[in-house]
A and B are shown apart, each in its own frame.
Chain A
């Protein structure tokens, strides 16, 4: 598997080739890599960077900075919401309470991602897991462990807050519980 930098280098090299070809031949048409069929290479670029409002769940992110993971809970029906949400559709209200997750749970399932999205290629192969927390709701996030071969459904796990490197933003992770 090529690294992110290698792929970027290959893509840029290819784009330069197309630009040159367009200049020389007058058209951005290249042969398909497998069949040789003529392919027009889009001249326009579109970059997406989504701007996502988090005002109503800001407490969650404030919590991460303090090393805490919060869920919301409906005070009327006792329903936990994770990921946290500011609205309770069950009672048509927005009076949810913020509660810190105790952080102990049981692993339900997991996978290890080998073929990663381009925007994740700079991380080592990672385990994504789903755990049922003792409060009764599930959390999906990365599971970090020094012993990946010991990861099994049913094992006890705990929730921790760490910075995601190399970017440095706070995120939450599952880890195997240390036997007490």
Chain B
């Protein structure tokens, strides 16, 4: 197998976009990515569009995006892995390149959520799991599923709602430094604590918002990447695993098992020791659709021991300069979570971090040249852990 590198990135502003349709939003990201890579539509040999859809009107998003972006007749597909659809798109594009089936591929993640009302979105997203046995009878909501993780976690480790709130405060702080983020204002622990309950113990400010957005990356083979750029960002390793559809089929609610498995797979490919994993990375992006999810992610990735994730958040160890900086773009919580755009957005952000293109206030110190993205679909349904690297062959023994 060959190597695949990110050689071009594009990102729309995240937020409500009542001025743009799905394909117009996607084009914002695609145009930037093509220009950043210094390629044109004619150079793209495969197109993968991540889109969860349902709330937006287009049934065949890949062809609509392809047509609008001038990419027809390039071969394409739409992929779905819920909130990890973006990482799935990246995987499909990278696999096409690594296998030699394409020299250059384009991965796009796009979501146009606000084409539907909040009411319609709540009605639809609660079905993300096992429809008949969870939603039809028991009316679960998306925050409801994660709330059950929060209840179990807080009970087991005596974490408090204020500890979860610390994640929201951090991510809003970094979003306030990121002009592409949905939320531009800092918040306090008190703001979180006085927001209303959505699904106990999660409150409105524990939740990521409904967001429109798109992100795109141009993925190239080793030979092509070296022609196009001096700083290709290598997709060094990726682990993938899947959890049960029905939450009740899981053994415990303190960890997302597929995330642990995906991390193990990815770490093994690079020779990273799980218990010391934070020492290998300059920066991480983790899937904080809810505050509890970021805390569990710290533990599932091995940044800290079991039961200590909330202390890491409370002590500010995931700010820039801490043990490991996490979500310096504001995360899903405050940058916004346009479902299928999120995984590609993580890849864009980590590419910028490794290229050191962010403003100093939210640029991690790049010393090791390695970064990790943790992208979860649904409620621990799909898990993708991806390691990005400045060095194509980096491997620890």
Residue positions of A touching B, CB distance < 8 A: 7, 32, 34-35, 37, 39, 42, 52, 82-83, 108-120, 123, 126, 128, 130, 137-142, 152-154, 164, 171
From 138 to 162 in chain B, residues with beta carbon under 8 angstroms from any chain A beta carbon are 138-141, 143-144, 147-152, 155-156
CA distance A153 to B143 in the complex (A): 19
B246 close to chain A: CB less than 8 A: yes
Q: Measured between C-beta atoms, what is the minimum distance from A157 to chain B in Å?
A: 13
Let me know if B68 is at the binding interface, CB within 8 A: no
> Is the CB–CB distance between A115 and B198 below 8 Å?
yes
B150 cross-chain contacts in A, Cβ below 8 A: 111
One of B129-137, B174-182, B219-227, B295-303 at the interface: B129-137
Q: CB distance A128 to B138 under 8 Å?
A: yes
15 A-B contact pairs sorted by A residue (CB < 8 Å): A7-B119, A108-B253, A109-B152, A111-B144, A111-B200, A112-B197, A113-B139, A113-B141, A115-B122, A115-B143, A115-B199, A126-B138, A128-B140, A138-B249, A141-B138
Q: Is the CB of B155 within 8 A of A152?
A: yes
Q: Which of A7, A117, A154 contacts B139 (CB 8 A)?
A: A117
- A108 to B151, alpha carbons, bound, how many Å? 9
List the 8 shortest-distance A-B pairs measured between CB atoms, nearest first.
A120-B139, A111-B147, A32-B18, A140-B248, A109-B152, A138-B248, A37-B18, A112-B200
Summed over the interface, the residue pairs from A and B with CB atoms below 8 Å come to a total of 105
**B window 378-396: CB within 8 A of A:** none
B238-259 at interface with A (beta carbon < 8 Å): 246-250, 252-253
Partner of A114, one of B197, B249, B252: B197
Chain A, Cβ-Cβ closest to B153? A109
Given the complex, which residues of B lie within 8 Å of A83, measured CB to CB? 130, 132-133, 246
The residue that B122 contacts in the complex, of A34, A35, A109, A117, with Cβ under 8 A, is: A117
- Complex Cα distance, B156 from A142, in Å, reads 22
Given contacts A39-B18, A116-B139, 6 further A-B contacts (CB under 8 A): A35-B19, A115-B198, A116-B122, A119-B139, A130-B253, A141-B137
| Least Cβ–Cβ distance between B272 and chain A, in angstroms | 31
CB B40 to nearest CB in A, in angstroms, measures 31
Contact (Cβ within 8 A) B152 A113: no
Contact among B57, B198, B199, B248 for A82, CB-based, below 8 A? B248
State the CA gap A82–B144 with chains docked (Å): 21
Q: Is the CB of A114 within 8 A of B248?
A: no
Q: Which residue of A lies closest to B247 (CB)?
A: A140
Q: A34-B16, A114-B198 are in contact. Are A153 and B155 (CB under 8 A)?
A: yes
Contact indicator A140/B152 (Cβ below 8 Å): no
The residues of A that contact B119 with a CB separation of less than 8 Å are 7, 118
Given contacts A37-B18, A111-B147, contact A117 B200 (CB under 8 A): no
CB distance from B385 to the nearest CB of A (A): 25
**Interface of A (DSSP majority class):** mixed
Which residues of B does A touch, CB under 8 Å?
16, 18-19, 57, 119-120, 122-123, 126, 130, 132-135, 137-141, 143-144, 147-152, 155-156, 196-202, 246-250, 252-253
Instruction: Name the distance in Å between A111's Cβ and chain B's nearest Cβ.
Output: 4
A171 to B147, CA, bound (A): 23
Checking A32, A52, A128 against B144 with a beta-carbon cut-off of 8 angstroms, the contacting residue is A128
* A39 contact set on B, CB distance < 8 A: 18
CB <8 Å contact, B148 and A118: no
With A83-B246, A128-B144, A140-B246: A111-B151 Cβ-Cβ less than 8 Å: yes
Q: For the complex, what is the distance from the CA of A100 to the CA of B208, rounded to whole Å?
A: 41
Q: Is the Cβ of B126 less than 8 Å from the Cβ of A117?
A: yes
Q: How far is the CA of A58 from the CA of B200 in the complex (A)?
A: 34
Task: Specify which chain A residues have a CB less than 8 angstroms from the CB of B123 in the assembled complex.
Answer: 117-119
Q: Which A residues touch B155, using CB under 8 A?
A: 109, 152-154
Complex CA gap A117/B136 in Å reads 11
CB contact under 8 A between A114 and B151, given known A108-B253, A126-B139: no
Contact indicator B151/A110 (Cβ below 8 Å) = yes
Chain A residues whose CB sits within 8 angstroms of the CB of B247 once the complex forms = 130, 140
- Set of chain B residues within 8 Å of A109, measured between Cβ atoms: 148-149, 151-152, 155, 253
The complex places the Cα of A113 from the Cα of B202 at a distance, in Å, of: 10
Residues of A within 8 A of B148 (CB): 109-111, 128, 130
In the complex, A130 Cα to B123 Cα: how many Å?
21
Which single residue of chain B is at the shortest CB-CB distance from A140? B248
Give the complex CA separation of A171 and B133 in angstroms: 11
